[in-house]
Structure 1
Amino acid sequence: MAQSRLSINIYKVLWQPLFRLGSGLANNRTKLEIIFMNTEYSDSTGEPFGTASKGIRVLVAEDNMVNQTFIAHVLTQLGISFKLVADGIQAVQAVDEEKFDLVLMDFQMPNMGGLEACRKILAESSHSNLPIVGLTAESIGDIQSMCQDAGMREYISKPFKRSDIEAVLARLKFNVSPIPMQNFDHDKELLKTTIDMIAAEIPQLADDTEKQLLAENFPEAKRALHTLKGHCKLVGELAFADFIQQLENQLTQNQLPAAKSIEHLKTNLRVLQQRLRLLSQ
């Protein structure tokens, strides 16, 4: 019982806003040492906590409507936010106006081709590290050298498949959580409506979890976590859902989750909300 009460007190200290921590606590080395000794960075098996996938924003520069439709379909399934433009001039302008994590750039476009647009984008110091991947149906010449000379990281040959896009994302170290479109009857409008609702609910559910844990009302805290877990599974955030399940299991056993676990929950709920907001654009 004493150990449980100590965990609750530690938890309350870490959840309180910084300005509420008095100088006496801040200077109390013993209390701070206890807090950090009880901080957990993994679950009981030593495995890292499951995390929510960060939102990815992709610019697609492609003038062919068929290719636009296919790429949009694939990126939606992968849970990736995107913007479509139809030529190199629009691509250069879009990158200046908005932050992107990746550009998919067609070679042959009206007004300005992809290679020239790539050079213009990367010439700007603020965009010099932006990954650009070429999209080409070219079958002559040294395509790889052309891409490298323009500053492109990679290229995908047309016609391409979903697996080709996934392979490039993996090589560029983008971690994606595909959307289980069957959960939405493959209806993009239903998906958008649902993720908007989930994104709007996350702050209130996070607050409810915090308040109920501080009040030691484990059943209500578990109820809020259960709802969050369901939302995560619905949009394909399975690793994070597993982590939330661990918290539920602890509450079922009347065990207060460690402070680091709760901080991990809060941080990743923010990440999830940001990703869903991006997807609704």
Structure 2
Amino acid sequence: MESQTNGYHPVLATAQVLIVEDNLINQVVIKQFLMRAGARIDVANNGQDALELLKTKQYDAVLMDIQMPVLDGLQACKQIREQAHLKSLPIIGLSAGVFADEIQQCFDYGMSDFISKPIDPNRLYQTVVNCILQLRPLREHLKSTNTDIADPQKLSDTVLKDLPGFNINKIALLMNDVALTFKLLNLFAVDCRDCSVGLQNEVAMNDFQAAQKRIHAFKGSACTIGADAVFAAAQFLDADLRLGQLHAENYHDFLEVLAETRIYLKQYLDKYESHHRKQSTQQSLQDRPLQDLVILLTEDNAIAQEALKEYLEIFGARIDVANNGQDALELLKTKQYDAVLMDIQMPVLDGLQACKQIREQAHLKSLPIIGLSARVCADTSQQCLDHGMNGCISKTVDPKELVNQITQWIR
């Protein structure tokens, strides 16, 4: 099959795929890959949930993790194949393990193909497409294309270039989305903590079976997220536990690398969050020129109130609303404002008379007051100036122009 642009095949754009995976990090990554290609995705946390979904909905393919709680992938696949209408449904096994016997088990239980974790997007796309179209023999492993799915430069351009024990280029290639990548790293930090506590408890109780399941699941997360150092240590421990034994050296090596990974990860994430907050603040000042300014909007028309309030809040201002000039005078007695936007024609007390009364108060003589009118002409502008306003703006002005004029008078 020829590779498609960006690794996508048209069949993926119409595919309905069920992901059966208990690990949250792997769920997010696989779902993101397939949605990027246009597929519609449902997620089940275990084999039993998958069986329930298959009763009510039709899928083009199922991606099935092997080791899961409640009902594992092998048993779930066996039960699926017992249903006549699902005998030909493509079911693709997923596992961090690449042992020959584990791969053979997938086929023995009726799976169509197998993909090892971490998930390579090209391999994922081609395997799903080939299984759906039945272009190749079920057990033939597909070669990856040379298509670039993502540009790793996007992440490596950040100030956070060095994370000991992690393959940062693998992370960047994985998602090409800085915010999502750091969300996954935060999830992995939780996985590290849970693995450390849970594993030590299980080993203390000599429950090597539970410990092996935990390490296997953790290994999948580590491999997916690019945590190469702790993944390598987990490989040795997983191999021991699969045989029902525990070598003290491998166990303590893993705990040591895991502890170091947690420290490095915390420092890295703290640094990123600090950098992100700084960037956000700088961006806010650039994109929100009215940031933290408190403005009194005096306008009797509800529609105009809502529109102007929304415009100003988008650019960072905090807004109070008065329905007429008298209400504005009352608010000015109790609160300090950076500026007042004052409609000219209002009931009770119009904008011109309200401005005149405001200027009679010594502490408000320099308060920027900007007139608002549906139609601005030379006479209207002059009236505004004569009554003490700083200027007059049309209500129909472009929002950015409105902000520009406000900032001129306020600053």
TM-score grouping bracket, smaller chain normalisation:
0.3 to 0.5
Higher RCO, Cα 8 Å, sep 6+: 1
TM-score, length-normalised on structure 1?
Answer: 0.42
Q: Which of these two proteins has the greater Rg computed from alpha carbons? A: 2
Scaled by the length of structure 2, the TM-score of the pair is 0.29
